[in-house]
Structure 1
Amino acid sequence: MALLVSALITAQTTRKYSNEFMNIGVDAAALGMSNSVVSHTGDVNSGYWNPAGLVKIEDNQLALMHSSYFANIANYNYIGYAMPLDDRSAVGISLIRFGVDDILDTTQLIDDQGNINYDRISLFSTADYGLTVSYARSLPIDGLSYGVNAKIIRRIIGDFATSWGFGLDLGVQYEANDWKFGVMARDITTTFNAWAFDDEKLATIRDAVEGQNQTVPDKTEITIPKLQLGLSKAFEFHYDYTLLASFDLNMRFEENNDIISSSVVSMNPALGFEFGYTDLVFLRAGVGNFQNELQIDNSEDLSFQPSFGLGFKYNGIQIDYAFTDIGDQSAALYSNVFSLKIDFSIFR
């Protein structure tokens, strides 16, 4: 409960690091390539990575993903659906849930007379939801398309606090001479989260946890814009073998621990590869999230996040697996990520 109090008190001030669950990513195929897919994404999962890629789908598609983090304490689930409107436009909708369930609420464990009653322990959940509606359209210029996301954010901490948020993304893709280029601008309007707190519920926490007597008012979180630039090219060998090489540059307009950082912008590269055989079996690898980590002796060490993946596709059904984490390789636990994609053309 003390951690919950700390999180709620922190929410009093306007923070620029909000909705981080929306940055984890979807689709094991993309995660296996260290998320470097902005330029070439072209399926139902493009609604997340770059909505401009939705124009490449030829039939309705459905995607599912599940992953567990922090030794299965937190669960991350995703579902997406997309469909073409005509030969030049498409729409999509997706939902992400990142939550921790069955948290013990011990605020009522001890009554006013100091008696302990374990029957007074209850359970609650803390969950973040992200609903995204996407629209994409091809432009009159050959190989050029754009896409727009409208995002609704819902965050819930039991009966203690809730918030609503809204934001917009804009994506562009361009293909020329077998090269693919992509730009994804996330939270271009700065996504706002407005929090509401239940003072009566919070009073029980302050009474249960010594030293927490602050009143938590309604406050706002702001998600600052981010920019992703992508470049990729596919190579074919002897008709049966393919190699996709992709490079992304992730940019935040702040100073942090990224490998390239200034007071204006910080940049973090990501590199991914996908080796395919007869468009049936895929092996993937990537590296990204380069960070300058400050050590105890004030020196800096460069850390990075490797990723690996495997995929199978047959008759419109694709199953993918990724082995990765959500931080650097020394601080976070690796996770097994599974995803499924179904192209509705198999039913026709």
Structure 2
Amino acid sequence: MNIGVDAGALGMSNTAVASTKDVNSVYWNPAGLTHLKDHELGLMHASYFANIAQYDYIGYASPIDEESAWGISMIRFGVDDILNTTDLIDNQGNLDYNRISLFSTADYGFTFSYARKLPVQGLQYGVNAKVIRRIIGDFANSWGFGFDIGIQFEKNNWQFGLLLRDITTTYNPWNIDEEKYQKIADAVPGQNQELPETTEITLPKAQLGIAKKFLIQYDYSILAATNLNMRFTQTNDIINSELVSIDPALGLEFGYTDLVFLRAGVGNFQNVTQFDNSEKIGFQPNIGVGFKYKGIQVDYALTDLGNQSAALYSNIFSLKVDLGIFRK
């Protein structure tokens, strides 16, 4: 749930909290759903770790009336066709490859969003109710629940956004099949001797964003955006303390007649310790392009999503469709 969706936002280093205004607001800031004019559909696919893991997203959103909107989305991160060799050796000590089976491990995030404009002009809020489902074959599974709250405010072409993720803290209690666990408990002496913790806790996080769109001679536009991603614990972010750690991000989008877009961003600023124990500041640059025509938008981002097989960066594609074009 921390990776992000939409190649357009990823190309700008995830600086979408203040500027998001479409179906992908179900992830970046549900308050942005109030800008919807019609039904929208969003899709994205990405591969991790030399195509071993797959990351998929689908979102749908629609206005309810002139003041409110709703949306729903699903994210899946999974590794499929993993070999289960726990029964490879039969009771006689013989190897029996027919006893090998396949299983998948997958995480699902289901989000239900509602947004509404407030009486103050330019101010709106949104709420996400999240259901987290995690599955490791037949070995273990869990359910989790959480909430996000977001607001946006716009005045004089300046856009401000604040998203509080997992505001109530998200809990995932695990159900572990102890019989299956015992088959692997002694596979490596001295390891896996005790059952893992059965409750995962996701602590609250905050994202503060500012954006402004500049119009140049009608045909050209520049969207500048920045985010401050905050975690309430000490990490290796470049700004850190025992109270809060802050990871800044910057993004730019150059547009031509609302048809073609070029994007760039930089984020994930971290204090990195080298092998000689010296430290340097690491960061992640991203770039992207987008094309929009008659309600259909295709976006591409070159960004580090974990595919380390051939290069540091991954190719991400996403699709956004204004379903109103099918009624015209």
Alpha-carbon distance between aligned partners in 1 of 2:188 and 2:194, rounded to the nearest angstrom: 14
Shift of 1:347: 1.3
Alpha-carbon distance between aligned partners in 1 of 2:213 and 2:125, rounded to the nearest angstrom: 21
CA contact 1:146–1:172 (8 Å) conserved in 2: yes
Q: 2:276 is paired with a residue of what secondary structure?
A: coil
Q: Which of 308, 315, 318 is 2:297 aligned to?
A: 318
Q: 1:347 is paired with a residue of what secondary structure?
A: helix
Alpha-carbon distance between aligned partners in 1 of 2:207 and 2:126, rounded to the nearest angstrom: 14
TM-score normalised according to structure 2 size: 0.96
Q: Residue 110 in 1 paired to residue 116 in 2? A: no
Aligned sequence identity (%): 69
Report 1:1-348 matches (<5 A): 22-212=1-191, 214-216=193-195, 219-326=198-305, 333-348=312-327
| Length, aligned pairs only | 326
Shift of 1:203: 1.4
CA contact 1:180–1:231 (8 Å) conserved in 2: yes
Alpha-carbon distance between aligned partners in 2 of 1:321 and 1:143, rounded to the nearest angstrom: 30
CA contact 1:303–1:328 (8 Å) conserved in 2: no
Q: For residue 158 of structure 1, what is the amino acid of its counterpart?
A: G
Unpaired segments ≥5 residues, structure 2: none
CA contact 1:194–1:218 (8 Å) conserved in 2: no
Q: Are the structure 2 counterparts of residues 40 and 34 from structure 1 closer, same or farther at C-alpha, using a change threshold of 3 Å?
A: same
Q: 1:141 is paired with a residue of what secondary structure?
A: coil
Q: For residue 50 of structure 1, what is the amino acid of its counterpart?
A: N
TM-score normalised according to structure 1 size: 0.91
User: What residue number does 1:5 align with?
Assistant: none
Shift of 1:219: 1.4
Alpha-carbon distance between aligned partners in 2 of 1:278 and 1:336, rounded to the nearest angstrom: 25
Residues 118-144 of structure 1, C-alpha deviation per residue, up to 9 Å, x if partnerless?
A: 111111100000000000000000000
Shift of 1:333: 3.5
RMSD over aligned Cα, in angstroms? Answer: 1.6
Alpha-carbon distance between aligned partners in 2 of 1:208 and 1:118, rounded to the nearest angstrom: 18
Alpha-carbon distance between aligned partners in 2 of 1:160 and 1:325, rounded to the nearest angstrom: 31
CA contact 2:46–2:54 (8 Å) conserved in 1: yes
